[in-house]
Structure 1
């Protein structure tokens, strides 16, 4: 099957690689010349524009950075695609935006599904994403060969827009955990507990946060712990590909806060997280990786949080 991929950034090109690995032909487009070249290098048939993708593929996956771009691209697909075209939108949007895009697709005789993902560029390239899907369940099942090529797990959440709500809550939980962890780092600093020990214990031994802290920090603190305690053969550190910037994190929090307001839902912790992210944005951290919020707190409280050998020596790691 020929599958269209619009948006060939890190995640989009990863999705393309996973599709190609499973024997699908991929035609794609991105406004960035460097992204188009990268996609071409892995075997994607790069089209001249989004319209050309819509004309040649009846199954299209979107991986786009902003709601306005999603609107423009879906409009192009509706204008240039064929009836019964199926769109799987992996972008993170508000539920209402997803509903609007689905209505536009339906009016054009097409089928739109909101399919936000977790797993980032690494998961995309390995075909190990988790997809939260909204829309017609039978049509999703009919396209399991495409979805299974890019995802390890696909969960049908409900109607179009429902999957976006779950993804926004997922992001909000992670972003709030980050703020709480940063607060904990300052308490550990005052007590003399090394941040690498705190990080490794919460992440790997108690498993309270699953992969949340890894996703945000890329195992920055884990590096010190691994170097101190773990043989090289057991090194499981992640790279920086799963980090995203504060502006993106803040966008998701705003979307969810607006939804809470619209439904008159009590939302104090989420509002606090949004306010703290807004403070970071105002301080010029918008385009910096999300974990850099720690540096902002270090500036505010005039305290450096760093892993030190003398503190790591106090801990013997996992002994049983």
Structure 2
């Protein structure tokens, strides 16, 4: 299968790297020519334009920063969609938008999948990230070999759009967890607790989580660089809030999280790293939320293995 990959940023660059590392015939495109050149040096082909890539490739993956960016790229590719072509949307996007565009792909004879990832850039870099896939079962079985090169655990979530619904939910939970960890660490520091001991206490307790095991280390080391910016967080939690409003669910915590992140953007910039939210509390209290012995960057030390399908309980 010839595969095209459009969007070689923080996540897309790593996912496409896993495909290359595992011998996939890959064509690439990005608005940044340096990103394209890096992948060409590793064995990819310069795809030229999205339209040309849809002509040349069997499966075309997009991993872009916004629904608008994906829509613009798909508009270029649509004249060349036909039987046998697969569009795979790996961006975190609006479920209704991916269904709208996907319907056009399907009407033209192609197949459409929303397959966002979850687990952090460090796991995307090693092929150990998790992947959700929303599509019909025959399409899922066609693309599963590709997905298991990019991710360790692959979940078929149901029809097109279902994966995007689940993904914005997980990003909402991750953001809520980040903000509560910022508060917990600051309160522990104010109470005179050693922050290294606090980290271990959380890790072995009912309060632990994936976010704690990863991002708390970056909070305490002071690097505060999780490769995920506040504007992307705001997009994702906004999509979750929109989903709740669409289904008339009166959320209380979600609007507060959105406003807290807006405040973080006002203070540090729209594209500041999301972990800098801890600095709001440092400024408010005068406390220094750092501890020795924590890494400046996350490294996935789990050996890379071929991924597999996760089957939900029924």
Q: Same fold (TM over 0.5)?
A: yes
Alignment deviations for residues 1-28 of structure 1 (CA, whole Å, 9 cap, x no partner): 2111111223223222222232221011
Q: Does 1:291 align with 2:275?
A: yes
Is residue 161 of structure 2 the alignment partner of residue 156 of structure 1? no
Is the Cα–Cα contact under 8 Å of residues 58 and 86 in structure 1 kept in the other structure? yes
The partner residue of 2:266 within 282, 290, 298 is 282
Paired with 2:193 and 2:39, the residues of 1 have a C-alpha distance of 45
1:234 maps to none
Higher relative contact order (CA 8 A, sep 6+): 2
Compared CA separation, residues 32 and 240, structure 1 to 2 (3 A): farther
The aligned residue for residue 136 of structure 1 is 136
Shift of 1:277: 0.8
* Per-residue deviation, residues 180-205 of structure 1 (Å, max 9, x unmatched): 111112211221012232223323x2
Higher percent of residues as helix: 1
Is there any run of 5+ residues in structure 2 with no aligned partner, and where? 294-314
Name 2:302's counterpart in structure 1. Answer: none
The one-character-per-residue Cα deviations of 1:92-139 (angstroms, maximum 9, x if unpaired) are: 001111111211212222111111101343323322221111111221
* RMSD value, Cα: 2.2
Higher Cα radius of gyration: 1
**Partner in structure 1 of residue 236 of structure 2:** 252
Q: Is the 8 A contact 1:26 1:44 kept in 2?
A: yes
Superposition pairs of residues 195-210 of structure 1, within 5 angstroms: 195-203=195-203, 205-206=204-205, 208-210=207-209
Q: Distance in 1 between matches of 2:38 and 2:213?
A: 26
Q: 1:83: Cα distance to partner?
A: 2.8
Stretches of structure 1 lacking an aligned partner (at least 5 in a row) = 225-238, 310-320
Shift in alpha-carbon separation, 1:159–1:213, aligned structure 2, 3 A:
same
Matching residue of 1:265: 249
Pick closer, same or farther for the CA change 1:122–1:22 going to 2, 3 Å. Answer: same
Range moving further from structure 2, 193-202 or 108-117:
193-202
